[in-house]
A and B are shown apart, each in its own frame.
Chain A
Amino acid sequence: MTVSSTVENISPGLRVEVGEIGRKLGELWSASEAGKVRASLINLVIYSENKDAIVLNTPLLAGLAAEHAFRALLVQADPSANEAKIEAWITAHCHLRESGGQKEICSEQITFRLNGPAAGRLPSIVFSHLDSDLPLCLWWQGSLHANPEPELWARVDRVIVDSQSWSDPAGQFAILQEIESIGRGHCAVCDLTWTRSFHLRYAIAQIFDHPAARERLAQMKNVEIRHGAGDRITALELLGWIASRLNWQLQTISDPIVFRQKDGETVQCTLHDSSRHESCIEHVRFDLGNATARVEKSDGGDFYLADFTLRGHAPIAQMLPAGRERTEDILLSELGRVGRHPLFWPAIRSIEPLLHAG
């Protein structure tokens, strides 16, 4: 489906001249019915070179607006086009408040299509249309460009990427680090793949909150992770998190992957690529000597079943939320989180050689 054929179906709104956007937004609000309230917590810029970006992201933004008010700048760029051309649309996503109010809460969306050399004018387009004093989140869909532009990245508060979509994770993480350094500590880096694993990491941590499990953490012998087809990067990030938190050093990158613990003991780790085409971890199992711990998705997929079993004892079991896997839910989870991800880079560093191993 091409953008031009679907814009009529999923409309990015009222077509406007770029220089008129501010005035047209003002008119949009003055003409709107009473009871509509414009709200905004962040500037959310989405950049994509996917030709279907407008069609894919407009409904996503509409869903997002119900829970996290924003001003969105959706930029669909085609740098390969011959002719420099900029088109723009404005629209608003409104929803009734849940708690019985009469007010409709609305978030604005400004959509741009940048063709040819105009695609290089991203900073100018973005900075002219931000809601002042609000944080700037830039969700870069797809692969990052080499040699990131300091003018743009120095002013971004939060950069969002998704390493699942990368064909060269090692190279892309290097660019991401460069972007972070441009921000001089001001820019928070968020990988949606990392966010996606939050509930799984939470469930694993929850198992080891129990004193009986916690005291056996140092006795780890094996870790087994079963992941969706082709979704090795999610499994690697999870493994990196475990390794970095437990101070393991990578020793062998071939199968099985081997880490050395602080006391010199080794831990063998196996990643199984399942045949299921789901981008999630299906199963994590820990062998702790005389005990096992396990987290796996429930049948319905809404929960993780987590248990810890000490040999000869009944399992201590718990159901924990698995979170939702729709992109807008992952993004909401990310936007609802104010801080940074201090454990992300240590996790990546601890499995870095495995990124090259493919």
Chain B
Amino acid sequence: MEKDIPANPLRADLISRAVAEPCTLVIFGATGDLTRRKLIPALYNLAADGNLPSGLAVVCFARREKTSEGFRDELAEATRKYSRRPVNEELWRQFAAHIFYHRSSFDDASGYASLAAELERIDAHLGTGGNRLFYLASSPTEFDVILENLRGSGLSHAKPGAWARLIVEKPFGTDFPSARRLNAAVASAFPERETFRIDHYLGKETAQNLMVLRFANTVFEALWNHRYVENVQITASELLGVETRAGYYENSGAMRDMVQNHLLQLLCLTAMEPPTDLEADAVRDEKVKVLRALRPLTGEAVAANVVRAQYTGGFINGQNVPAYRQEPGVDPNSMTETYVALRLHIDNWRWAGVPFFMRVGKRLPKSATEIAIQFRGTPPVLFNRESQLRDANALIIRIQPDEGISFRMAAKLPGALLQIEPVKMDFHYGTSFGKATPEAYERLLLDAMSGDATLFARRDEVEHAWQFVDGIRAAWHDGSAPRLDFYAAGSWGPREADELLAQDGAAWRRL
């Protein structure tokens, strides 16, 4: 059994992360976009970097009638299109030879029995060691039945000396009760330590760098608290509209699509205390503490602290674009929010009194995700007598695009007059490090294969986030919060969102 085999002495100093273990990755709903656009290209790139374990197979589980050979051809085409690096045909052939298509409906118990037999055959021939990594890439409505069948067929139970893990793709439910139901279904088949809930934002290089920035540098952490920070702004803006996702988005809206998961995760990484170590649970414990310290927004507090809006027609890059309600597949009377702005407070010692402003929206002037730490101004003496330096210092962490960090500070203009202007120090990943950064899915798949859950959401994180978001959504539906506002496509959101910050004497950063 693997447990009894000592660590590989030849591995030392060659990589600085846990080693991915041999396994079979089983993707449920493998004919969907996620597999073609993200998962297989990510696996191919891992193979090209030499990061995949020897002994890896991929079983694509889906309903449509296909053969392994035919599906490999489809995946080859998709990988050529979506891979971040050109496809080497020799490597692709070797990699693709270990991809198999398994046709079955999700509710057919015999499909799982034959899957088990196929996995045994793969173990015997490809050295996958009995380890299984099940990936739920299907529609969330299928999760329950897949989990039930995995449990019923015994596939969710690891063989002695091996492991069985589950990767769940978001959304993790649509509200707190459904998330709790889903988590219970997951827990009935897989223990929490073998469950990996993917939020791909956490796999991005800059999101990972947030902890390094905060805890590997002396200067920032000393200032990272209510004594020095005026406010924090987290922005996720999108140039695009709803595109082809109207069916999903009409039910989801910006709050459930972005705030409940990505933005709250970024908030947690920004606001959390230093973990005791870098183990998954130590990091996630600290993130949960932030969620628990979030001041709940319900009833009238929602009216005072949350703005929701929907885009009307407007111009993007000079081109006329339709209103949300005119997009294909959208209800002409839709009340779905395409923009949300929030003022949050974290009621703990570090952040008491510091507003955290978040905004997320579609059809904004540019696509950008960033976290801005706005520092307090200097005392109103000397250079700050006229209060012109109130917002002189800001630290900006750009998540995408153009990942990097910049710092704004005040500097004297050259000349005899004393004139002070803001200047910016800029660090760009692309400028300083020429090599392409890996896609988030590459890192996350590798972590799941090596059993490192640090960059995955834990059950209690997900449930706390839903509880917070549900309070806001309840106020929207019971009428205690203002109705939907509107903003023109191509603008930076509704006037009400500007007013939200103005109440605190702040303004949204110009991106």
Contact = CB atoms under 8 A, between A and B. Distances in A.
A339 to B, nearest CB: 8
Nearest to A64: B434
A205 B2 CA distance: 17
A308 B127 CA distance: 10
A199 B8 contact: no
B244 interface: no
Given A39-B431, A201-B14, A319-B90, A101 B53 contact: no
A316 B126 contact: yes
Nearest to B52: A318
Contacts of A66: 434
Nearest to A305: B94
A209 B11 contact: yes
Contacts of B6: 214
Interface stretch (B42-50, B142-150, B465-473): B42-50
A103 B431 contact: yes
A261 to B, nearest CB: 12
A317 B215 CA distance: 41
B8 to A, nearest CB: 5
Contacts of B55: 210, 316
A242 B11 CA distance: 11
Given A99-B402, A211-B5, A316-B126, A37 B431 contact: yes
Interface stretch (A6-14, A17-25, A110-118, A295-303): A295-303
Interface in A83-109: 97-99, 101, 103, 105
A121 to B, nearest CB: 32
With most chain A CB atoms within 10 A of its CB, the pick from B11, B52, B95, B433 is: B11
Nearest to A246: B9
B17 interface: no
A140 interface: no
Contacts of B48: 321
B126 A319 contact: no
A319 B91 contact: yes
A208 B8 contact: yes
B333 interface: no
A81 interface: no
A320 B12 contact: no
A215 B161 CA distance: 14
By secondary structure, the B interface counts as loop
A314 interface: yes
B382 interface: no
A201 B15 CA distance: 11
A268 interface: no
Given A298-B90, A303-B90, A210 B22 contact: yes
Interface residues of A, number: 50
A164 interface: no
B430 interface: yes
B431 A209 contact: no
B368 to A, nearest CB: 14
Contacts of B477: none
Given A204-B10, A209-B19, A101 B50 contact: no
B189 to A, nearest CB: 26
A210 B11 CA distance: 11
B430 A98 contact: yes
Nearest to A205: B10
A302 B12 CA distance: 24
A208 B432 CA distance: 35
B13 A214 contact: no
B217 interface: no
B510 interface: no
A217 B47 contact: no
A235 B8 CA distance: 21
Nearest to B22: A210
B25 to A, nearest CB: 16
A204 B12 CA distance: 12
Given A205-B14, A211-B5, A302 B431 contact: no
A92 to B, nearest CB: 14
Given A205-B8, A245-B10, A211 B125 contact: no
A316 B124 CA distance: 11
Given A69-B432, A245-B9, A245-B12, A320 B50 contact: yes
Given A39-B432, A66-B434, A209 B14 contact: no
B49 A211 contact: no
A128 to B, nearest CB: 25
B29 interface: no
A265 interface: no
A310 B9 CA distance: 20
A245 B8 CA distance: 9
B54 A207 contact: yes
A212 B127 contact: yes
A202 interface: yes
Contacts of A320: 50
Interface in B147-191: none
Given A101-B402, A303-B91, A321-B48, A308 B430 contact: no
Contact of B54 (A41, A101, A206, A217): A206
Contacts of A205: 8, 10-11, 14
Interface in A38-64: 39, 41
Interface in A330-356: 336, 341-343
A245 B47 CA distance: 26
Interface string A306-326: 101000001011111100000
Contacts of A129: none
Contact of B431 (A69, A214, A316, A343): A69
A342 B12 CA distance: 9
A298 B88 CA distance: 13
Contacts of A37: 431
A99 B19 CA distance: 30
A311 B60 CA distance: 31
A248 B434 CA distance: 40
A306 B91 CA distance: 13
B203 interface: no
With most chain A CB atoms within 10 A of its CB, the pick from B5, B8, B48, B94 is: B8
Contact of A214 (B5, B12, B434): B5
With most chain B CB atoms within 10 A of its CB, the pick from A69, A204, A214 is: A214
Q: Which 6 A-B pairs have the closest CB atoms?
A: A67-B434, A316-B127, A205-B10, A320-B50, A318-B54, A245-B9
24 contacts: A39-B432, A41-B432, A68-B433, A68-B434, A97-B430, A98-B436, A99-B430, A199-B50, A204-B10, A205-B8, A206-B54, A207-B54, A208-B11, A209-B19, A214-B6, A245-B10, A308-B127, A316-B54, A318-B54, A319-B47, A319-B90, A319-B94, A321-B49, A342-B13
Given A67-B434, A321-B49, A341-B13, 16 more contacts: A66-B434, A67-B435, A97-B430, A103-B431, A199-B50, A201-B10, A202-B15, A202-B50, A203-B50, A204-B10, A206-B50, A217-B9, A246-B9, A314-B126, A316-B126, A318-B52
Interface of A: 37, 39, 41, 66-69, 97-99, 101, 103, 105, 198-199, 201-212, 214-215, 217, 242, 245-246, 298, 300, 302-303, 306, 308, 314, 316-321, 336, 341-343
